[in-house]
Amino acid sequence: MKYLFLSILLITCFSSAVHAQKNKPAQVKIAFYNTENLFDTIDDPHKSDNDFLPDAKVPWNSKRYNLKLQHIARVLVAIDSVNLPAVVGLAEVENIGVLHDLTEKTTLARGNYQDILEEGPDPRGIDVALIFRKDVMHEISHKAFPAANTFSTRFILYVKLADAKKDTFHFFVNHWKSREGGGNETETKRIENASSLKHLTDSLLARNPKSNIVIIGDFNDNPTDKSISEVLGAAKPLQKVSPAGLYNLMALRFQDGEGTLYYKSWDLFDQVIVSGNMLTDGKKGKGALIRAPYGNIFKQDWMLYKNKDGVMVPNRTASSKEYFGGYSDHLPVFVTVNME
């Protein structure tokens, strides 16, 4: 009887392991979303959050905050409604408490996400963050790096993850200097952001030219701008690629006139850039983690509204003068990664 019991136990454990392995998704999504001012309603004396309090000019209260959380979650769930995205980078998140609310008090709760956010020196108090599904990836380490030395801005969040096969992925989440004050006038600051990031990726690739690097973020520059194309050196992923090169999966989307935010015309500030080791060789793509050359912009009618020029653009939450109740002034981007 003892041996029969042990046999049944071993068979059950083996069957469970096989079942769990079969349930691992063959493909997963990696996404990035600028959430447009995801603030709580609590006054933080160390941050410039006065525009997001109940007594602000455009009142920010619990009802509006909870609706905002539900809206952001709805978008992310819709990107992959079957499995939910495996990894999501976020911008404009106030603090770790807000991030916990997003992943634990919305429809994202079924994703069993781990939350990572490091408080940075941004004057407005907004940070970048990363969440990942603990059944798909596990954390090796994370660290926040300064994105500039000459001015205060958001950190570059570096997160090192591994999948079930023990393949290592290096994620860099970014939110570069805004264009407030003029695009040309602020360009040197984004170039400094690019130089900071380039130093980090060059260090990784020097140690291992076949590193799996994923750079995501709101760069406040387009794929063709100097900071991205020249300083960071993120090229269009056409034909043969170098394992140690950096390739912008949104470059061809921008070339085709697509964008993630709209002001007079479309800009594509939200991007996914990867190292060449993650891309197909341009043939059948066997063994490739990502099939080049396109990343994707997630764009649904319920996230949009028709502006005065008749263009369907992102429906934002609020301006400095008015509450709209929308989702974000940015559209999210994502790529599909093969896990087999």
pTM for this prediction: 0.92
Average pLDDT, the chain: 91
Mapping DSSP to helix (H, G, I), strand (E, B) and coil, where does residue 286 land?
A: coil
**Rounded CA separation 77/82 (Å):** 8
Residue 195, pLDDT > 50, answer yes
What is the residue extent of each domain of the chain?
28-137+299-331, 176-295
Amino acid identity at 309: D
Q: What confidence score (pLDDT) does residue 21 get?
A: 42
DSSP-derived letter for residue 84 is -
User: Distance between CA 165 and CA 85 in Å, rounded?
Assistant: 18
pLDDT at 104: 98
Q: pLDDT tens digits, residue range 63-113?
A: 999 999 999 999 999 999 999 999 999 999 999 999 999 999 999 999 999
Which tens digits make up the pLDDT trace of 108-133? 999 999 999 999 999 889 999 999 99
pLDDT of 3 higher than 90:
no
Percentage of residues in the chain with pLDDT exceeding 90? Answer: 82
In the chain, pLDDT over 70 holds for what percent of residues?
90
* pLDDT at residue 5 greater than cutoff 70: no
For residue 58, give Cα distances in angstroms to 2, 161, 219, 323.
70, 40, 27, 6
Residue 145 pLDDT level (bands cut at 50, 70, 90): very high
Q: DSSP assignment, residue 105? A: S
pLDDT higher at 281 or 134: 134
- pLDDT of 310 higher than 80: yes
In this prediction, residue 23 carries a pLDDT of: 60
**Residue 206 neighbours by CB distance under 10 Å:** 10
Q: How far apart are CA 332 and CA 27, in angstroms?
A: 19
